[in-house]
Structure 1
Amino acid sequence: MQLSGRVRVGPESRVLTGGAPLRVLFPNAAARNLLAGGSFSVSDEASAALAEKLLAFGMADPAADAGIPVDAEAVADTGARLPAGTVTVVVPVRDRPDQLDRLLGSIGSGYRVIVVDDASRSPQPVADTAAAHGARYLPLPVNVGPGAARNAGLALVQTPYVAFVDSDMVLDPGTIPELLRHFADPGVALVAPRILGWNPDNSPGWICRYEDSRSSLDLGRRASLVHPRGPVSWLPAACLVGRVDALGGGFSPELRVAEDVDLVWSLVRRGWRVRYEPSVAARHEHRREVSAWLARKAFYGTGAHELARRHGNSVAPAVLAPWSVAFLLALLAQRRWSLPVAAALAGATTLRLSRRLRRSPQPARLAGELVGQGILAALGQGSALLLRHWWPLTIAGCAFSARLRRAALLAAAVDAGVEYVRTGADLDPLRFAAARRLDDLAYGAGVWLGAFRGRSAGALLPEITGLPAFRRRSSRSPSPGSGTS
C-alpha cells in the first residue's frame, strides 16, 4: 500500500492532507510508523484497517505488485500471466469489421470473447471477423445502443470478471491481466486503464493531435479512486474490467450516452470501490474530422441532464464554498476594492481554518496552503463556468459588459496556456487554443441542449457548500488511529 501522489505529508507524517472531499488527518504514533516510508505492507489487523480507510478516502493506492492468484495456463506475450477461465471479453460493435479485426488481434490469447453485433447494416463481415478469431458472435435484431449491447454480452458471461472493450480500441496483451491485479481487493468492482490515442499512419491532423494530448477519454497520469467530485470522477466504457457479481445487470439500457458515468456512480453509491490505473494503457482511434469530433463532444454534453436527474448534485458543473463565491465575484467586479476584498476573504478564511487545525504543528501554514489550493480550484471552476458550461450566457453578457469581456479573454488565455504546458501537446499553441475553445463550446452546447430537451437546469447549476457541511462529512468518517479535521 502506498500513499497517493496527491497526498501531502507533513513533518514526521504527523499530518496528511488529501483525498476528495479534502481531508486533514493526524495519524497516531502507530500509524506514523507505518507511513514513515510513504508505503507499507498489510500484515496485521491494524495495518489492514489503516489501509482500508486510506483506500476509502482516496489517499492511498494499491502497490503495483498486488494481484489475484495466477497460473501458467494462459501467458500473454508480454509475460503477464492470466488465470484460466477468469475473464470474458465483451465487444459491442456495429459494422466496423476492420476495427474489430484489429482489436481482436491485439487482445492476446487465453480469453473467452463475445462479439455483440448491435444490428449492423452489413452483419456478415462482422460475423466472419468474429469467427476468424474464435469469438462467439451474438447478433441483435434491433439497434439498442452500446450500453444495452454490453448487457446482452454480460448476460452470457460465466467467468468471475468481464472486460468491456469497444471495437475502436487497441490493447496490449498485458492490459487486461494488469488491470485484474486490482481485484485482489474484494471491495473493487471496476477498473479502467488510461486511454491514449491510436494513430496507425503516424500523420494525425491537428484535431487528432489535440485529442492525443487532451482526449475526453484520457483521465490523466495519476492513479485514483473514482467517485463523484474526485480527481477522477468517472471511467470511459471504451475499456473497463469489472467484477461480474458487482455489476448485476450492467449498464442502464435506456442510456445511449453517459451510461459509463451512471454505472460508476451507481456502484460507488452501493459501496463498491472503482479505480483508475494509468500505469496500464489502452489506445483509442480518435476522430479526425472536425465536424465528427464536435458532434461527439456535444453528444457527451447531452448526457449531463440525465445524470443530474439520476444523481443530483454529483453532476454540478462547479462546487464552491461561500467564501470562494465571494472571492470570485470580487475579482469579477474589477473595481479598486476588488483585490483588497479578495485578500481579506482569503485571510479571514485562513484564520478561521487555522483555528480548526490546532493539532497541526504549523496550523497557520497548513491553513494558508489549503486556502491557496481552494483559490486555485475556485479560479479553475469559475473559468470553466465562463468558457464551458455557461458560455451562451458569457457571450450574451460580453455584448454589454467590458468587464466580462476582459474576464472571459483572460480566462481563455490562462486556461489554454496552462493546459498547453500541462499536456505537452504536439501542436502549436494557437491551434491548441482554438481546439480547446471548440471543445468547450461543443460540450457546453450539448449540456444546454440536454437541459432544454429535459426542461431542467439541474446540470447547469453549481453547488454552494459551506464549512458546516465539511465538518459533518469529516465527523462521520474518522480514520483508525487518526484524527480528522
Structure 2
Amino acid sequence: MPSPASVPLPESVGVFLDRGIRVIESGRVLIGGSPTRVIRLSAAGARAVGRWRKGDLPRGWAERVLARRLVAAGVAHPCVDPLTRPPGGVTVVIPVRDRQRELRRLLAALDATDPGTPVIVVDDASAAPEATGNISQRFGAEVVYRTERGGAAAARNTGLERCDTAFVAFIDSDCVPEPGWLDRTLAHLADPVVAAAAPRILALDSGDDGALARFEAARSPLDMGPDPASVGPGGPVSYVPSAALVVRREACPGGFDADMPVGEDVDLVWRLTDAGWAVRYEPTATVRHDHRLRLGALLARRFDYGTSAGPLAARHGDRVAPAVISPWSAAILGLMLAGRPAAAAALTVTAIGLLARRLSGIRSPVPEAARMVGLGTLGSARGMLFAMGRVWTPAVLAAVVLTAVRSPRAAALAGGALALPHVVEWRRCRPALDPARWTGVGLTADAAYAAGVWRGAIRERTLVPLLPRLSTALPRPHSDTTGGSPRSTPA
C-alpha cells in the first residue's frame, strides 16, 4: 500500500481547509495541521487553494497531489459526495449477545435508513440464541451463531469472514443509526487510500434527564467531536470506536485482535495507518448510542477502557502516552513551577528566536513564532493537567492524603489541579449541567479510568501508559507539500 500522501486525490473529491488553519500572506502561507507545521505555497498553489475555498474542485494531477498532501497533513479535509456509493457493495455486521430488545430496535432502524443492505447478525453465544435468530429472520438478516463467547472483536471477525462485499459496516446492537449515516461514511471509501471511516456517535435520547445522562451526552468517550479529521496516533482524533465503523475488507483481512476485550478499535486503526492506509472521521454522519446512565455501569466501563492502555503499549509503544509535550514546553513549564519566572521567560524568548529563524521565509516571523510557542506551551500545560486527572489521579489523590495534615495548602493545590481541567472543559463546551455536578461526575469517571490504566500497566509490567512523551522540539516549515519539484507542482 503506497503512502496516502503520494496518491492524488480522486477527481470528484473537493477539499476544504481545517477551521484551525491560519492563512496569511495572501494565501501563500498556511499554518496548522497535526503536528503543527508552516506550509509555504507557490503562487500557483495559493491560487489553487483560493479556488478550493470557494468550492471549486482541484484541477489536474498537480492540484490533486497538492490536495492530497494537505489532507494527509491534517490541513484540509475531503469533501465527498454521499450520493454515490463506491462499487463493490457493503454488508452490515452486528455483534450481539443477550440484547434482544436492542437488536430489534437496531434492525428496525437499519430497515428504515438502509433498506436492501445485507445484514449479518453474529450471536456471540447468547443465553437464548433462538431469540436472536427469530428477530434477525423477521427483518431478513442472516444470523451466524458462535458456540463459545469470544467478545465483540471475535464476533465482528466471524461476521467479516462471512462477507463477500468490498466494504463492511460494523455497528453494535446498542446503537441506532440516523438517516444518511452509511452513505456519508461509505463515501470516504471511494478514495482508494482510505481503509476505514467512522461516523460521529451521539447519545440516544433515553428520556433520562439526570446528571449522568447530561454528562454522557457532552463527554462520552465514543464521541470524537464535531470536526472532521484524519484519524491516527498523535492527531486530534487518534482513534475511532468500533461501535460504528465502516472498513474496506481487503485492508483488514485479519480483522480485530480478538485477544483484546477493549481497545481493539484503537489497535485496528493504528495498524491500518502503519500499513499506509488512511482512516477518516466524518461527523456529519451520526449514530446514536445507548449510553450507560447508572453510575456503577458508567464507572465499570470507564475502568474497562482504561485497562486497554497496557496491552496497547505492548503493541504500539509510547503512542499511548497520556500527554505529549515538547522539550521546550516541558522546560518552560518546569521553570515556572519551580518559581523561576525569569528563567522561564528567557527560555521562551530563546525558543521564539530559534523558531523565527526557521520561519525567516515569511514576512513576520517573530510574531508568528511567538504565537506558536505561546500556544504550544499553553496546550502542553492543558494536556498535562488533563493527564493528571485522567491517568495520574491515584498518585495525586495519594499526595493529597499524605500532605493534608502537614501542608493543607499543598493538598488544596493538588486537589485544585485535579478539578481545574473539568472547570476549563465546562467553560469550553457549556454542557447542560452545572459546574459542580459536572466536575464531580468528571472526577469520578476519570478516577475509574485512571484505575483501569494503572491496572493495565501493572499487568503488562510497563510504565509507558503513565509517562508523558516528548515530541519534536519546534514546528517545522515545509515549502514543498507535493513531494515533487516546485516547478512541476503548485506547492
SS at match of 1:450: helix
Cα distance change of structure 1 residues 211 and 29 upon mapping to structure 2, 3 Å threshold = same
2:277 corresponds in structure 1 to 272
For 1:462 and 1:413, locate their aligned partners in 2 and report how far apart those are by CA, in whole Å: 20
For 1:414 and 1:187, locate their aligned partners in 2 and report how far apart those are by CA, in whole Å: 41
Contact 1:88-1:159 within 8 A present in 2 as well: yes
1:325 corresponds in structure 2 to 330
Contact 2:389-2:421 within 8 A present in 1 as well: no
Match of 2:369 among 361, 367, 370: 367
Match of 1:93 among 84, 93, 96: 96
Q: What amino acid maps onto 1:50 in structure 2?
A: L
Task: Render the CA deviation track for 1:27-58: whole Å, top value 9, x for unaligned.
Answer: 11110001125354122011111011111111
Contact 1:89-1:164 within 8 A present in 2 as well: yes
1:291 and 2:296 equivalent? yes
Task: Render the CA deviation track for 1:186-235: whole Å, top value 9, x for unaligned.
Answer: 111101111100023x2232112100001000011100000101000000
1:161 and 2:167 equivalent? yes
1:57 corresponds in structure 2 to 73
Contact 1:298-1:442 within 8 A present in 2 as well: yes
Match of 1:311 among 313, 316, 329: 316
1:245 and 2:250 equivalent? yes
Q: What amino acid maps onto 1:262 in structure 2?
A: D
Superposition deviation, residue 466 in structure 1 = 4.2
For 1:125 and 1:87, locate their aligned partners in 2 and report how far apart those are by CA, in whole Å: 26
For 1:428 and 1:481, locate their aligned partners in 2 and report how far apart those are by CA, in whole Å: 56
For 1:179 and 1:251, locate their aligned partners in 2 and report how far apart those are by CA, in whole Å: 20
Give the % identical residues: 41
Match runs of 1:376-455 below 5 Å: 376-398=378-400, 399-400=402-403, 404-455=410-461
Contact 2:41-2:479 within 8 A present in 1 as well: no
SS at match of 2:292: coil
Contact 2:310-2:458 within 8 A present in 1 as well: no
1:353 corresponds in structure 2 to 355
Task: Render the CA deviation track for 1:39-81: whole Å, top value 9, x for unaligned.
Answer: 54122011111011111111111114366457xxxxxxxxxxx
1:4 corresponds in structure 2 to 18
Contact 1:214-1:423 within 8 A present in 2 as well: no
State the TM-score, normalized to the length of structure 2.
0.90
Contact 2:389-2:447 within 8 A present in 1 as well: yes
Match runs of 1:211-222 below 5 Å: 211-222=216-227
Contact 1:196-1:281 within 8 A present in 2 as well: yes
Contact 1:332-1:404 within 8 A present in 2 as well: no
Match of 1:255 among 242, 246, 260: 260
Superposition deviation, residue 459 in structure 1 = 1.4
SS at match of 2:288: strand
Cα distance change of structure 1 residues 11 and 410 upon mapping to structure 2, 3 Å threshold = farther
Contact 1:250-1:263 within 8 A present in 2 as well: yes
Q: What amino acid maps onto 1:2 in structure 2?
A: F
Match runs of 1:456-467 below 5 Å: 456-467=462-473
For 2:146 and 2:322, locate their aligned partners in 1 and report how far apart those are by CA, in whole Å: 37
For 1:302 and 1:476, locate their aligned partners in 2 and report how far apart those are by CA, in whole Å: 42
Cα distance change of structure 1 residues 464 and 407 upon mapping to structure 2, 3 Å threshold = farther
Q: What amino acid maps onto 1:104 in structure 2?
A: L
1:104 corresponds in structure 2 to 107
SS at match of 2:428: helix
1:79 corresponds in structure 2 to none
Which stretches in structure 1 are left out of the alignment for 5+ residues? 71-82
Contact 2:94-2:122 within 8 A present in 1 as well: yes
For 1:91 and 1:402, locate their aligned partners in 2 and report how far apart those are by CA, in whole Å: 53
Q: What amino acid maps onto 1:281 in structure 2?
A: T
Superposition deviation, residue 115 in structure 1 = 0.3
Superposition deviation, residue 10 in structure 1 = 1.2
Q: What amino acid maps onto 1:60 in structure 2?
A: A
Superposition deviation, residue 412 in structure 1 = 3.6
For 1:270 and 1:195, locate their aligned partners in 2 and report how far apart those are by CA, in whole Å: 26
2:11 corresponds in structure 1 to none
For 2:149 and 2:367, locate their aligned partners in 1 and report how far apart those are by CA, in whole Å: 58
Task: Render the CA deviation track for 1:279-311: whole Å, top value 9, x for unaligned.
Answer: 111100000110110010010000001111111
1:42 corresponds in structure 2 to 58
SS at match of 2:79: coil
For 2:291 and 2:462, locate their aligned partners in 1 and report how far apart those are by CA, in whole Å: 32
Contact 2:152-2:261 within 8 A present in 1 as well: yes
Task: Render the CA deviation track for 1:105-161: whole Å, top value 9, x for unaligned.
Answer: 111302100000011112122111111111001010000011111000000111111
Contact 1:28-1:481 within 8 A present in 2 as well: no
Contact 2:39-2:481 within 8 A present in 1 as well: no
Match of 2:125 among 119, 122, 128: 119
SS at match of 1:36: helix
Cα distance change of structure 1 residues 476 and 298 upon mapping to structure 2, 3 Å threshold = farther
Contact 1:68-1:182 within 8 A present in 2 as well: no
Contact 2:353-2:366 within 8 A present in 1 as well: yes
1:343 corresponds in structure 2 to 345
1:210 corresponds in structure 2 to 215
The number of aligned residues is 464
Contact 1:234-1:260 within 8 A present in 2 as well: yes
Contact 1:192-1:277 within 8 A present in 2 as well: yes
1:133 and 2:135 equivalent? no
For 1:436 and 1:266, locate their aligned partners in 2 and report how far apart those are by CA, in whole Å: 31
Cα distance change of structure 1 residues 6 and 383 upon mapping to structure 2, 3 Å threshold = same
Task: Render the CA deviation track for 1:385-423: whole Å, top value 9, x for unaligned.
Answer: 322211222223333366753543443443222211332
Match of 1:13 among 27, 34, 37: 27
For 2:335 and 2:76, locate their aligned partners in 1 and report how far apart those are by CA, in whole Å: 37
Q: What amino acid maps onto 2:329 in structure 1?
A: S
Contact 2:211-2:433 within 8 A present in 1 as well: yes
